[in-house]
Chains A and B, each alone.
Chain A
Amino acid sequence: MSAYTRPIATGRTVTGMSTAKLAVWWIIVSEVVIFGGVLASYIMHRIGHPEWQHSAAHTNMWIGAFNTFVLLSSSLSAVLAHAAAERGDGALAARRLVYTIGGAVMFLCVKAYEWTTEISAGFTITASGFWSFYYTAAGIHAAHVFAGAIIMGFIAVAAKRNQDLHRVEIIGIYWHFVDLVWIFLFPLLYIAK
């Protein structure tokens, strides 16, 4: 493979914002409409199908609340990682990113336990319209948590060597977005009974 040299274009900042940061905001724009589409469809149908509340009654609000807590805490360590990266302390930033990855893993494990319980109780994705949306919306979100954790792993490895420390902030912005989506999903799927 030919050696890759970063073009001059990548380093230009006509807007005053770094290219990477600008790009992650645009990616978030595209994600907002993806989740917007799922959630708008869900809300419209939830209003049109009052009988879905019987399905919704079976979701476990306390597990959802615990996962909200886990995800928000993981965002805190992402912020702290950014603070460390700002000071140029790559090793500390890497350690704090690992805490965030730990939060992601915890979130996914809780999700796995929760879904296993529900599926064994017969609440599969085909059980009702509610459960279809429940697994689809939370599943797309979980895929984002999974992907974010993997990207964060790469960034943490580089940060430990004090490389590309600006990326710590970029993944932090993305992670807050993933968090924010959950803040919408949690009340819509768990609290609205």
Chain B
Amino acid sequence: MTATTADHGHTHSHHHEPHWAIKYLWSTDHKMIGMQYLFTGMAMALIGGYFAYAFRMQIVFPGEHVPTWGIVTPAEYNQFITGHGTIMIFWVAMPVLVAAFGNFLIPLMIGCDDMVFPRINRLSYQIFLLSAIVLIASFLVPGGGFGGAWTAYTPLSAVPEYNLTPLGATLWVIAVALEFIAFLLGGVNFIVTTMNARAPGMKYNDIPIVVWMIVLASILFMASVGPLIAGAIMLLFDQNLGTHFFDPAHGGDPLLWQHLFWFFGHPEVYVVLFPALGIVAEIITVFSRKKLFAYKMVLYTAIATGVLSFFVWAHHQFIAGIDPRMANVFTATTVIISIPIAELCFVYVATLYGGSIKFTVPMLWALAFMVEFLIGGVTGIFLGASGADIYFHDTYFVLAHFHYTFFPIAIIGTFAGLTYWFPKMFGRHLNETWGKIHFWGTILPFNGIFIPLFFTGLLGDHRRIYSYEHFPDLNTEWLQSLRMLATVSAIMMFAFQVPFLINFVMSAIRGKKADKNPFKSNTLEWTADSPPPHGNFPVLPTVYRGPYEYSHPDREDDYWPQDEPPKKGSASLAPATEAAE
């Protein structure tokens, strides 16, 4: 952290150095807020990961003492699976992929000095931090944390007599609602900053894809979360005021919650997918020294996917008693949405084709993202078909499928971005050898966890089962050995995060010093110092070309920074410089 603020003597610091608490906790600097989101997200990931460890241990050693926790009771088991899902999606994937990378990258990559609303940005993080504290508090209140799964289906979540966690369930809803408010504030900032504060000369087609993707994700989030905010208010009233919006015993409708939840919940998949796709696009162009294949098509495809994502939500409800005719419609839309995503995979492969590929750590993560996400996408087609889904629904097949989408997004995508921008964030290089050890130590066990779970799911393993000892059909030696393989792989994967954390801290403090542009990239953030000082650029840059001009035939260098002025005499579209500066 100290490295990020070594910015003495620049033009903005005419007032003396602020108190550390103000510098780290009350900062309006987009880079510091990005770091706050990043480190909060990483801390929450440790909690979410620990929960996964505890419930995987319970599954393979039912009723036995779990090291560092003890006996996992049924209520605790439910609390762990609920907490794991909630934390990993709302307090890890969202804050790290959208908020941390969005905050750090957007002003740097579009060439301005900060977000357009720095104080709203600070408020966004503070509300987010509050939401994380409320969530953690919900595990500790009398009655324990909420155990009704991260989807919080009603009436289980709505009626205290059913869920037996009156306080935990209420705090869960409040935490989620606060988190939504934090990301709405952040999202307005991202969208308006990108629309209004781009460097002179940066046209829509000159915006790096990762910025586009984060902005599209913010728009998707904003357009989909509203009904769930309304639903959260209604759920709070059901829990605490005695209304019956969702309780069928008193004329309410439990399906209403499912619609409100998944109307948000499905676009949410793309909210976190888009930033990861953007990060991968940046990395594969830099480390294959190739122009991104079909920039505009990537952009339009992402927009089309975003629009389509609003019409697929009911594929989560095929066995919830919805009209079969409606199920047919949602089967069609769900299968259609795999087309643009498949197209993006081909576009990325086309970008790599014929490039001079360097297998650096970020590149390994980016390539792993493409491979692993592909498995997630292909298995999704089985679930999108309503007929097949009737069998697969709520089995470990579903679980393995969405971990093959969310893990590449939230973990692989994050590691790709973190290792790529590490020199810019901390001014030092990450140790490559340890980076590669961590990469293989994460990727191999990841497949070891979830490939067996596809098979247990196919063989009938239902999700969220406390102990398979009570199900003779499922309590076979073969199934148990597959479960064991998954658990052992999970523990290996968790163990390999220790070298990462050590490497991360050691490299940030003592790694090799990085210059401004260590990977010879084109985008504007690499023209700022590493790490960038407050205000980012000594002189705010002007943009002359798109972000992916690698290996241009007319140039000796194999890259062409966006802000490098064209040679005098050459026909160029030199934009007018900013009048205000």
Q: Does B198 contact A (CB under 8 A)?
A: yes
Query: In whole angstroms, how far apart are the Cα atoms of A12 and B111 in the complex?
Result: 12
Residue among A9, A32, A49 making CB contact with B114, cutoff 8 Å:
A9
Contact B196 A13 (CB under 8 A): yes
Q: Does B243 contact A (CB under 8 A)?
A: yes
Query: In whole angstroms, how far apart are the Cα atoms of A60 and B228 in the complex?
Result: 30
Q: Of residues 8 to 42 in A, which have CB atoms within 8 Å of B's CB atoms?
A: 8-15, 17, 19, 22-23, 26-27, 29-38, 40-41
Q: Does B507 contact A (CB under 8 A)?
A: no
Contact A34 B229 (CB under 8 A): yes
Q: Does B224 contact A (CB under 8 A)?
A: yes
Taking the closest CB of chain A, its distance from the CB of B254, in whole angstroms, is 13
Contact A8 B251 (CB under 8 A): no
Q: Mark B236-275, 1 if CB is under 8 A from A, else 0.
A: 0100011111000001110010001001000000000000
For B283, list chain A residues within 8 Å (CB).
none
Contact A125 B243 (CB under 8 A): yes
For A7, list chain B residues within 8 Å (CB).
112-116, 118, 535
Q: Does A4 contact B (CB under 8 A)?
A: yes
Q: Does B573 contact A (CB under 8 A)?
A: no
How many interface residues does chain A have, given as a range?
A: 35 or more
Residue picked from B118, B192, B580, most chain A C-beta under 10 Å:
B192
Residue among B22, B28, B230 making CB contact with A37, cutoff 8 Å:
B230
Number of A-B contacts (CB under 8 A): 142
Q: Closest chain B residue to A33 by CB distance?
A: B226
For B229, list chain A residues within 8 Å (CB).
34, 37
Majority DSSP secondary structure for residues of A touching B: helix
Contact B198 A14 (CB under 8 A): yes
Taking the closest CB of chain A, its distance from the CB of B105, in whole angstroms, is 14
**Known contacts A10-B116, A19-B116, A140 near B230 by CB under 8 Å:** yes
Q: Does B136 contact A (CB under 8 A)?
A: no
Query: In whole angstroms, how far apart are the Cα atoms of A72 and B198 in the complex?
Result: 38
For A9, list chain B residues within 8 Å (CB).
107, 112-116, 193, 196-197
**Known contacts A7-B118, A19-B192, A31 near B580 by CB under 8 Å:** no
Contact A22 B237 (CB under 8 A): no
Residue picked from A4, A8, A15, A45, most chain B C-beta under 10 Å:
A8
Q: Mark B478-505, 1 if CB is under 8 A from A, else 0.
A: 0000000000000000000000000000
Taking the closest CB of chain A, its distance from the CB of B575, in whole angstroms, is 11
Q: Mark A45-66, 1 if CB is under 8 A from B, else 0.
A: 1001100000000000000000
Residue among B114, B116, B231, B244 making CB contact with A126, cutoff 8 Å:
B244
Query: In whole angstroms, how far apart are the Cα atoms of A102 and B115 in the complex?
Result: 35
Contact A26 B226 (CB under 8 A): no
For B308, list chain A residues within 8 Å (CB).
none
Contact B237 A132 (CB under 8 A): yes
Query: In whole angstroms, how far apart are the Cα atoms of A49 and B26 in the complex?
Result: 51
Q: Does A3 contact B (CB under 8 A)?
A: yes
Q: Does B161 contact A (CB under 8 A)?
A: no
Query: In whole angstroms, how far apart are the Cα atoms of A5 and B234 in the complex?
Result: 41
Q: Does A2 contact B (CB under 8 A)?
A: yes
For A45, list chain B residues within 8 Å (CB).
253, 256
A-B contact pairs, 7 of them (CB 8 A): A4-B28, A7-B535, A9-B114, A10-B197, A14-B195, A30-B184, A136-B233
Given A5-B12, A12-B578, A14-B196, 8 further pairs, Cβ under 8 A: A12-B196, A30-B188, A30-B222, A37-B230, A41-B234, A49-B251, A125-B242, A126-B242
